[in-house]
A and B are shown apart, each in its own frame.
Chain A
Amino acid sequence: MKLRTLALASLAALLMAGSAMAQTSVKIGVLNDRSGIYADLSGEGSVIAARMAVEDFDAAAKGINVEIVSADHQNKPDIASNIARQWYDQDGVDAIFDVPTSSAALAVAEISRDKNKIFMDSGAGSADLTGKSCSPNTVHWTYDTWALAHGTGSALVKEGFKKWFFLTADYAFGQALEKDTSAVVVENGGEVVGAVRHPFPGTDFSSYLLQAQASGADVIGLANAGGDTVNAIKQAAEFGITQAGQKLAALLIFITDVHALGLETAQGLVLTESFYWDMNDQTRAWSKRFAEQNGGNMPTMVHAGVYASVLHYLKAVEATGGKDTTAVMAKMKEMPTDDPLFGKGEIRADGRHIHDMYLFQVKSPEESKGPWDYYKLLATIPAKDAFRPLADGGCDLVK
């Protein structure tokens, strides 16, 4: 009896000590697609990644109490805005993470600026987030359309694939990607021989693929995403387009898409990403832990970006000893970033996170040694060349 009282008393003391140490409480919101076409590449995986960042940072021991909330924005800007507003106004969320789908991300960036909260994007592609729509409250971590266009576009043109034909999803993202890549192709001495804009989303691409084939292009650039890209690649293989010598360039593709395609179909694809699980011991160890919690599925670069951005945010909270938005943002930009997934990097004045990008090629089934062994590294694009130069973005914060 005495022993139990003693145990209870010491437990109570421990709890009190714990709460005394936790001086700062932060609430972070992971806002992304949890049911639609981007649910596998962001979704619950991003929440797992955020949770892992909190664990690895050992926030509790450092006196920071972290609560994570999540919601589904269904890839719609209006829904994303409503949730962001509710989180900031009523639920006391201090920072929002992830937010794939460019239109939704731009809306959340706007609200974060109005409410003076922090927005760290991982899932969205639009380079405008740190360009003409940049904000002192936004950090864009993982990738953007400029980086994708330059990574894949210039690499292929330099290899001698000069004539390009685009298969473009007929909406803002697809058009932007086509425009950015066309510029890169022309800049490097290539030529754009044609483009076809398909309705979004599409199912059958054989008709467009035959037009691309007839154009005599060296490369068919796929300026679309998700299921559209998967279908286009599947059908290009079926119609013998890749076997006949034309190359497919998927301008935005994630490892989950490659997994969906299977190597038989996806082999030979050239793509640009900022993270792959099998890069070094650190990424492998982290990804293994991630996969255990994510039904055996390896992380995408978006998941990695959420992990790294949450980690950096918590470091800044610790360093400033509080969660004041202006102070934390200033600290995040001042402090170099360092994490096991992206290595060393920095956040520029315009909010762009700078790190190496990688040009990968999808392995053939013979080259692959097991599940998720999908990419081989063709080239590393150094951080200084991977993203749009600071001066070219048209961001007000830079002038």
Chain B
Amino acid sequence: MFELLGISPQVLFGQLLLGLINGSFYALLSLGLAVIFGLLNIINFSHGAQYMMGAFVAWMLLTYTGINYWWALALVPIIVGAFGVGIERLMISKLYHLDHLYGLLLTFGLALIIQGVFRNEYGVSGLPYSIPAELSGGQNLGFMFLPNYRAWVIFASAIVCFCTWFAIERTRLGAYLRAATENPTLVGAFGINVPRMITLTYGFGVALAAFAGVLAAPIYSVNPNMGADLIIVVFAVVVIGGMGSILGAILTGFGLGIVEGLTRVFYPEASAVVIFVIMAIVLLFKPAGLFGRAAS
């Protein structure tokens, strides 16, 4: 820790901000996972592949049809979300009465297939996707150079996270959803189409992953393995936050981004494991996660 002395507050602020940016991606992705797990009880292992599809579909829209980044931001979640709806209807819905493990295996298998198809078609080196002209350049904050695009990532992700949280925890629709997970039969008896609601929820979770994929396309390499690299970390985030807790996923996502950012300054070699160390500690003391409710 002696290096602490060698690091000026300016550098520290810079790293905190960077951590927040990475945290934005963790938050968006773990939010989608938490929504799907919380409301469907499915551990969606193909989340990383769906994030990757988001980035790829954005690239395809730009390359084949000339549709720019801003339209992609709106269209891609719809396209990939519709794909998710198809998957849920055709496959996942058959597994609700079985153990969690079957859903996990199915979605894991799907992730491998999706990645394989993209790898076969586009290779592994990745594809170029430029930052939209409106967001290129950056601001000199004194302690660091903040690219405009990164500021936009924090902003967009915070808005989406807030809206999702609000919709599920504070609106009537959200109340139906939460009730349907507690007791689907009873909610159905009130005349609410529970299976359709669940299908749309899965589609929404997938759309969140795709949205994160579009946000990531201009700054990370767009390649078939991009989701596989990230998904393990995101799972740890969800576990720390508490499986199924919406607020937990968001806050833990941002928080762990910052912790990871700080680790990169003090001891970079450990930055890949720090999240898992925290996960182990949290599981020891609070097995349900920081924001999770203990299983009844």
Contact = CB atoms under 8 A, between A and B. Distances in A.
Contact of B125 (A204, A240, A257, A264): A257
Given A197-B269, A199-B272, A203-B226, A238 B147 contact: yes
A39 to B, nearest CB: 5
Nearest to B138: A240
A227 B130 contact: no
Q: B138, B225, B268: which has the most chain A beta carbons within 10 Å?
A: B268
A227 B123 contact: no
A360 to B, nearest CB: 18
Interface residues of A, number: 41
Q: Which of B125, B225, B226, B265 has the largest number of chain A CB atoms within 10 A?
A: B125
Interface size class of B (residues with CB under 8 A): 35 or more
Given A37-B225, A206-B21, A234-B220, A214 B11 contact: yes
B128 A260 contact: yes
A262 B21 contact: no
B58 to A, nearest CB: 15
Contacts of A204: 18, 22, 220
A210 B19 CA distance: 12
A293 interface: no
Nearest to B127: A260
A238 B230 contact: no
Contacts of B264: 207-208, 211
B174 interface: no
A380 interface: no
A238 B150 CA distance: 9
A199 B138 contact: no
Interface string B267-279: 0110111000000
Contacts of B229: 201, 203
Nearest to B124: A39
A262 B130 contact: yes
Contacts of B204: none
28 contacts: A36-B124, A40-B124, A198-B268, A199-B268, A199-B272, A201-B229, A203-B220, A203-B226, A207-B15, A207-B19, A207-B268, A208-B268, A210-B14, A227-B125, A227-B126, A230-B125, A231-B220, A234-B221, A235-B219, A238-B149, A238-B219, A240-B145, A257-B125, A260-B125, A260-B223, A264-B130, A265-B130, A297-B123
Interface of B: 11, 14-15, 18-19, 21-22, 116, 119, 123-128, 130-131, 138, 144-145, 147, 149-150, 219-221, 223, 225-226, 229-230, 261, 264-265, 268-269, 271-273
Closest 7 A-B residue pairs measured CB to CB?
A262-B128, A199-B272, A207-B264, A260-B125, A260-B126, A40-B125, A40-B123
